[in-house]
């Protein structure tokens, strides 16, 4: 009996230590799969791309993978007119697509927030463009924006002297690509706004109605200020998405050489990266473009962080 009591006393500290170890280590073990996968598929490609960006690697030049050029690829990038053009195109398309897209999403969310008949179907319906394949969307919009037999030129026929060649000019091609982007992402952003709107206390609207505020005044003075963090979030996410724009201009380009039009009218940064990396076989230079784009994205994320902190502190 005495030995049994002594044995249980000896085991208690061991079990206690094991319990403490379990409490301390278990959370890290639970989240470790994510960080392991992130290290393999996120950090390693990032670091490997940084190494490649300092080489003159090209599959067309045997042995070039080991030739270090330091930061020459980045210096070349600073004076590369095609990169500057791609950056302007990216920012231009991003501006033309993001602003109307978010305003439209805000309006749709406001309408869907009313007590409408079949509102569940309507709310699910705005997600249809988002779940539709980008390739299918681009195929349809390519037909709509065709110069000779396109639907839009048929509609514009009474107002213009000659058919609009949507791919020939920067602004027209930006509008065409932006319409595809807007079609794809407006419903998604509308649902984000709608979710945020449903957290606004209904008492605020009732009080405003009693005070005689119109629907527009309620929307402008109650809904929009309450959605400020969400609006900033969608603006930043949409901006980052615009910086990574590839599929729409790639599929809109009928030249099939990844130029983004005969004069690179709608060639974005990622499309230019793709052209340099795969079409021209300039692995080192393509990696430098990828890292530059990554740094631009980090700057945008930093702006997001600063704006969010200021809004929270002001609230």
The pLDDT > 90 percentage for the chain reads: 30
Closest CA to 110 of 95, 122, 94: 122
Give me the domains of the chain, ranges plus CATH numbers: 71-313 (1.10.3720.10)
DSSP per-residue letters across the chain: -HHHHHHHHHHHHHHHHHHHHHHHHHHHHHHHHHHHHHIIIIIHHHHHHHHHTTB---TTSTTGGG-B-TTHHHHHHHT-HHHHHHHHHHHHHHHHHHHHHHHHHHHHHHHHTS--TTHHHHHHHTTHHHHS-HHHHHHHHHHHT-TTT-HHHHHHTTT-SS---TTTSHHHHHHHHHHHHHHHHHHHHHHHHHHHHTTS-HHHHHHHHHTT--HHHHIIIIIHHHTHHHHHHHHHHHHHHHHT--HHHHHH--SSSSSSSTT-TT--HHHHHHIIIIIS--HHHHHHHHHHHHHHHHHHHHHHHHHHHHHHHH-
Q: Is the model's pLDDT at 121 over the cut of 50?
A: yes
What pLDDT does residue 84 have? 93
| Residues 264-270, mean pLDDT to the nearest whole number | 91
| Residues 77-100, mean pLDDT to the nearest whole number | 92
Q: Is the model's pLDDT at 118 over the cut of 80?
A: no
Condensed to tens digits (0 to 9), the pLDDT of residues 59-77 reads: 888 887 788 888 999 999 9
What pLDDT does residue 1 have? 47
Closest CA to 110 of 97, 123, 98, 91: 123
pTM to 2 decimals? 0.82
């Amino acid at each position: 009996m005495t030995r049994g009591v002594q044995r249980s006393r000896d085991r208690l500290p061991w079990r206690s230590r094991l319990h403490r170890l379990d409490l301390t280590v278990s959370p890290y073990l639970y989240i470790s799969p994510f960080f392991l996968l992130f290290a393999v598929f996120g950090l390693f490609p990032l670091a490997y791309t940084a190494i490649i960006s300092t080489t003159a690697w090209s599959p067309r030049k045997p042995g070039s993978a080991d030739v270090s050029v330091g930061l020459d690829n980045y210096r070349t990038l600073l004076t590369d007119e095609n990169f500057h053009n791609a950056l302007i195109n990216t920012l231009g398309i991003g501006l033309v697509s993001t602003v109307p897209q978010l305003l439209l999403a805000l309006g749709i969310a406001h309408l869907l927030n009313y007590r409408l008949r079949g509102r569940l179907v309507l709310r699910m319906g705005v997600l249809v463009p988002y779940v539709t394949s980008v390739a299918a969307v681009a195929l349809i919009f390519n037909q709509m924006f065709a110069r000779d037999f396109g639907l839009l030129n048929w509609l514009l026929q009474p107002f213009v002297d000659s058919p609009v060649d949507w791919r020939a000019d920067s602004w027209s091609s930006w509008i065409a690509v932006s319409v595809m982007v807007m079609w794809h992402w407006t419903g998604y952003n509308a649902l984000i706004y709608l979710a945020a709107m449903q957290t606004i206390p209904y008492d605020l609207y009732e009080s405003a109605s009693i005070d005689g505020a119109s629907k527009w005044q309620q929307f402008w003075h109650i809904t929009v200020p309450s959605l400020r963090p969400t609006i900033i979030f969608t603006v930043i996410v949409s901006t980052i998405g615009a910086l990574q724009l590839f599929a729409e201009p790639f599929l809109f380009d009928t030249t099939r050489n990844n130029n983004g039009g005969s004069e690179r009218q709608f060639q974005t940064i990622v499309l230019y990266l793709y052209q340099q990396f795969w079409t021209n076989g300039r692995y080192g230079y393509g990696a430098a473009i990828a890292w530059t784009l990554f740094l631009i994205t980090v700057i945008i994320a930093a702006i997001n962080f600063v704006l969010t902190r200021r809004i929270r502190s002001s609230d």
